[in-house]
Amino acid sequence: MADGRELFYFDDVTTDREVLPDTRDLPVVEHASTMRFDVLTGEWVTIAAHRQNRTYLPPADHCPLDPTRPGHEPTEIPAADYDVVVFENRFPSFARTTADVEPNVDGNPLWPQRPANGRCEVVCFTSDHNASFGSLPVSRVRTVIEAWADRTAELSAMPGIEQVFPFENRGQEIGVTLQHPHGQIYGYPFVTPRTASLITRAGAHRQRTGRDLMGDVLDAERKAGTRVVIDGEHWTAFVPAAARWPVEAHLVPHRAVPDMTALDDAERDELAVVYRELLQRLEHYFGEPSELPYIAGWHQAPVHTGRDLTRLHLQLFSLRRAPGKLKYLAGSESGMAAWVNDAAPEQIAERLRGAV
């Protein structure tokens, strides 16, 4: 790209794609993200003040994720059309930087800090600005899966990357700043708090029982059946027994694999079908099709630790609790991380099964 960022095309079928140059005159963005250690929780907090200036809900005819078409200003994608595109985020939370950072805030070893050296990429699922992931053909979903797997492998091989997280935010209520169908991939320089907790729990379960925690959860959900939404040959989607969100589902492979790269062709083929169906059910959850805001996050094992204790799985959830009403994270959830759900998991599953 014009400012030195990388861009990758992923096509549904093999083509002799002409790689067009980025003709924009772009200044190099200075990335000055830092991470500060919260001694009270043991977690890293990233400070990325430069993201205040990122593009925010531009008009549809000025969307930077659309292809560059004749008569229009150049966008982030030089091609006049594309299937799937991945490129480095211009306003990343994590990026390679050579900026010097003092080892401690205020010189006090109580608060260590370091550069937020990682990688953030944007994944455009389609060139169609008005589409949604759930509306894509299965063949396109399959291409997106290949892109996720490819980028997971590439980011995992980069020095300093500890965990790779592909995800999609959909809906202005979630905080989306660009309406074009897209997701992101974060390459974190640390193991995220949720994954660290999962590894701790899985390790204790392994020591106590000798078994895989997520595998036991999957087996128990399939045996009970009351919260299962889709049960395939290689994948099962279910509402977790202790669901936090008013609409939530997990999608778990039957075979224990650490990340996208370990999926075989049969698992990827079925995933393309099952994942699209799950998104479509989400859109019909309240009856008539609606643009339900959601977050779809693919949890993968860390790059260097705990790979035998946790497996690839999707967490899909919406904060909409009823038509026109959102679940706000108020005092108990935001202040104490003590969740209260207004919907019973069994009822969520029943509604998802009936949402067609």
Q: How far is CA 243 from CA 75, 316, 343, in A?
A: 40, 11, 9
Cβ proximity of 338 and 332 under 8 Å:
yes
3-state SS record for 41-74: CCEEEEECHHHHHCCCCCCHHHCCCCECCCCCCC
The closest alpha carbon to 123, from 153, 95, 144, belongs to 144
Asked about 182 being catalytic, the answer comes back as yes
User: Would you say the C-alpha torsion 159, 11, 268, 350 has a positive or negative sign?
Assistant: positive
CA distance 66 to 48: 26
**180, 182, 205, 299: which one is catalytic?**
182
Cβ proximity of 283 and 214 under 8 Å:
no
The closest alpha carbon to 237, from 267, 275, 207, 263, belongs to 275
Q: What does the DSSP 8-state code read for residue 347? A: H
Give the catalytic positions in this structure: 182
